[in-house]
Amino acid sequence: MVTADKSSSPGGDHAREPSFYTSQKGLKSWLFTLDHKRLGMMYLVSTMIFFFVGGVAALSLRTELLTPELDVFSATTYNKLFTVHGAVMVFLVIIPSVPGAMGNFLLPLMLGAKDVAFPRLNLLSFYIYTLGAVFFLITLLTGSLDTGWTFYTPYSTSTGTAVISATFGAFILGFSSILTGLNFLVTVHKMRAPGLTWNRLPLFVWAIYSTAVIQILATPVLAITLMLLIIERTLNIGIFDPAMGGDPVLFQHFFWFYSHPAVYIMILPGFGIISELVAVHSRKHIFGYKAIALSSVAIAIISFLVWGHHMFVSGQSELAGVVFSFLTFAVAVPTAIKVFSWVATLYKGSIEFNTPMLYALAFLFTFTIGGLTGVFLGALSVDIHLHDTYFVVAHFHYVMMGGTIIAFIGGIHHWWGKMTGRMFNETHGRWGCLLVFIGFNVTFFSQFLVGQQGMPRRYATYVPQFQNIHVISTIGSYILGVGLLWTAIYLLRSLKSGAQASDNPYGGASLEWITQSPPIEHNFHGQPRVDTDPYNFPQIDRSGGMDHH
């Protein structure tokens, strides 16, 4: 069991103290806050706003695709819309969401620390993020960018649209990502409570830690690439543009050298959330702690060596294709290990089907499909057919939306009481989860079928025989939209009318649950101490002796 020097449970030896929301007041106390919890909430609000913007673009795209012809938008507008959608979702939502919001809020709490290692740097990261985001969004909306989120040359260097300022926005965002990663890395190394050894870290912390490593190592490459692009466009030095003697395929190598590891920046934190949810809501020790923790690290390392699987048909050498294909399959193994371990955790547990757990189970379903379809794409000959079709679109939505976003929503529910002090309505939550689950699968499963038949991606118009499947997918996207809107509404309403959250509503055993909900400004009264691991629930039957490593 974990202990604090002084008990902080309600009815304990002292009254409830003001939470971090009320301990200081006024706009200034928010704008200049060094409190990781306030920063976490600010990230949560901003990523949710951007999620809404990206979502509106997505539903517009799906509406256009109801018919094979162009009827709602012009082709140019369609192309701008998918660029806004992809770029916002990747750079402003998925990458900052879990580390920025959940990471900031939870990491110090889970470590038993008062804050992150460098609170001022943390505030700076947030401002860099905001600056980059505003800059990026203004460009996307007014500068009419139409290159797709991948910015492939030479289209991006020849089109008249605002590529420089958009890439500059992404460049700024990259800095925020690097600084946050650095901050978390040092925090995990230096700020752990007494007794909190590496083997006792919650798996969410391991996941954030592995993510931080990738952020620090990969993001500079993106920054350099975008810098080179800017140099090419402003100084007319041929780097990627063949008209000036550059090499357009070089850009793709640079881009994916960052962006493949980045897909793990996007998913690893989601994995972390799922490990917590599955263990807590089944009150079982997580199965294969070491395997899950180390597979995150393994994925972080191998993910740097597989970028070429996005380029099998780009004209890269045959040998490169073979090597990249092989390494791609090497990442699939640690990913599979995680899924098996989560399912095994349910075995002989005490499973409660509340909203966070339903999201975790939905994650297992959708992420398994996402991972398995990655295997199709890693197989060279099959990828030649599927590359740049809707099959790829479906695959990465299954891993990013069905993986990261589903995990994120589950995490928001799991820690909602801790973060806001209020509980949401369980019944509303379960209905929301059902709508999201059905809507998501109808939208994206159908895209595997149309992709496998040869429907290319980024098409504003298409041949008529694909219409049936597109109509189904669009209907699914409306269901998904309704589910998400519904979820946003009941969560916001709970802030006013929700029941008071107890300190530990689900019986979690990691440190964030011993403090008050919402936590006090300095997190804990005194220094928490740890003498066991975070999955050692009181319900575990130890009559046969604890099976320990």
Partner 1 sequence: MLSMFLAPEIKEAAKAVVSNAAAAAPAVPAAAPVSVPKLPPLETANSWAMPTEASTFAESTDNLYYFITALSVIFFVLIIGAMLYFMKKYARRSEDQKTSSLTHNGKIEFLWSAIPAVLLVVIFAWGEIDWIKQTSPPPDAIDIRVTGRQWYWQVDYPDYPGVTLTSSTEEPLITMMVPKGRPVRLIMTSEDVLHSFYVPAFRVKKDLVPGRYTTLWFEATKVGEFNIFCAEYCGDRHSSMGGVIKVLEPDSFEAALREAAKLEQKPVESAADFGKRIYTRRGCVACHTLDGSAATGPSWKGLYGKEESLVGGETLKVDDNYIKESILQPKAKIVAGYTAANMPSYQGQLDDKQITAVIEFIKTQK
- Contacts of partner 1 in 288-327 (CB under 8 A): 288-291, 312-315, 318, 321-322, 325-326
Which H or E element spans position 499?
Answer: strand 499-500
* Interface with partner 1 (CB under 8 A), residue from 8, 33, 47, 79: 79
Near partner 1 by CB under 8 A: residue from 350, 427, 527, 532: 350
Q: How far apart are CA 535 and CA 529, in angstroms?
A: 16
458 dihedral zone (left: phi>0; alpha: psi -120 to 50; beta): left
Among 230, 301, 382, 434, binds partner 1 (CB under 8 A): 382
Q: What distance, in Å, lies between the first and last C-alpha atoms of the chain?
A: 18
Site for ligand HEM in 147-176 (CB under 6 A): 150
74 binds partner 1 (CB under 8 A): yes
**Residue 129: which of 99, 169, 162, 168 has the closest Cα?**
169
The least distance separating Cu ion from the CB of residue 260, rounded to whole angstroms, comes to: 4
137 or 331: whose CB is closer to ligand HEM?
331
**CB-based contact 454:389 (threshold 8 Å):** yes
Sole window of 40-48, 219-227, 278-286, 521-529 interacting with partner 1 (rule: CB under 8 A)? 278-286
Decide: 367 and 396 in contact? Cβ < 8 Å: no
User: With binding defined as CB under 5 A, does residue 192 bind Cu ion?
Assistant: no
Task: Report in angstroms how near the CB of residue 527 gets to partner 1 at its nearest.
Answer: 28
Binds 71: which of partner 1, ligand HEM, Cu ion, none (CB < 5-8 Å by kind): partner 1
Q: What is the CB-side half-sphere exposure of residue 127 using CA atoms within 13 A?
A: 11
532 binds, among ligand HEM, Cu ion, partner 1, none (CB under 5 to 8 A by kind): none
Q: Which of 361, 394, 407, 530 binds partner 1 (CB under 8 A)?
A: 361
Shorter beta-carbon distance to partner 1: residue 251 or 490: 251
Site string for Cu ion, 259-298 (x = CB under 5 A): -x--------------------------------------
Q: What are phi and psi of 316, to 5 degrees?
A: -70, 165
289: left (phi over 0), alpha (psi -120 to 50) or beta: alpha
Contact (CB, 8 A) for 483 and 418:
no
Task: Return d(Cα 449, Cα 520) in angstroms, integer.
Answer: 51
- Comparing CA positions, the residue from 357, 362, 344 lying closest to residue 280 is 357
Task: Work out what residue 392 binds among Cu ion, ligand HEM, partner 1, none; the CB cut-off runs from 5 to 8 Å by kind.
Answer: ligand HEM
In 3D, which of 73, 83, 155, 60 has the Cα closest to residue 458? 83
**Which of partner 1, ligand HEM, Cu ion, none does residue 172 bind to, with CB < 5 to 8 Å depending on kind?**
none
**Apex 89 CA angle, 85 and 94, nearest 5:** 170
Q: How far is the CB of 214 from ligand HEM (least distance, A)?
A: 12
Q: Residue 91's closest CA among 139, 38, 157?
A: 139
By CB under 6 A, the count of residues binding ligand HEM is 24
For residue 392, state whether it binds ligand HEM (rule: CB under 6 A).
yes
Q: Any contact of residue 93 with ligand HEM (CB under 6 A)?
A: no
Q: Which of 281, 283, 310, 413 binds ligand HEM (CB under 6 A)?
A: 310
Binding status of residue 202 toward ligand HEM by CB under 6 A: no
Site track 248-267 with ligand HEM (rule: CB under 6 A), x = hit: ---------------x--xx
Min dist. Cβ of residue 278 to partner 1 (A)? 10
Q: Which stretch binds ligand HEM (CB under 6 A): 193-201, 274-282, 399-407, 465-473?
A: 399-407
387 belongs to the binding site for ligand HEM (CB under 6 A): yes
The burial of 199, by beta-carbon neighbours within 10 Å (0-12 exposed, 13-18 middle, 19 or more buried), is given as: exposed
Amino acid at 509: A
Residue 323 interaction partner, one of Cu ion, partner 1, ligand HEM, none, beta carbon < 5-8 Å per kind: none
The count of other CB atoms within 10 Å of the CB of residue 98 is 30
- Residue number, 121 or 336, with CB nearest to ligand HEM: 336
Report the DSSP beta bridge partners of residue 529.
3
Work out how close the CB of 212 gets to Cu ion at its nearest, in angstroms, rounded to a whole number: 20
Asked if 72 touches partner 1 (CB under 8 A), the answer is yes
- Burial of 25: CB neighbours in 10 Å, binned 0-12, 13-18, 19+: exposed
Site for partner 1 in 431-470 (CB under 8 A): 449-450, 452-454, 456-465, 467-469
Contact 44, 36 (CB under 8 A): no
3-state secondary structure of 457: coil
Question: What residue ranges bind ligand HEM (CB under 6 A)?
Answer: 150, 263, 266-267, 309-310, 328, 331-332, 335, 371, 374-375, 377-378, 383, 387, 392, 395-396, 399-400, 403-404
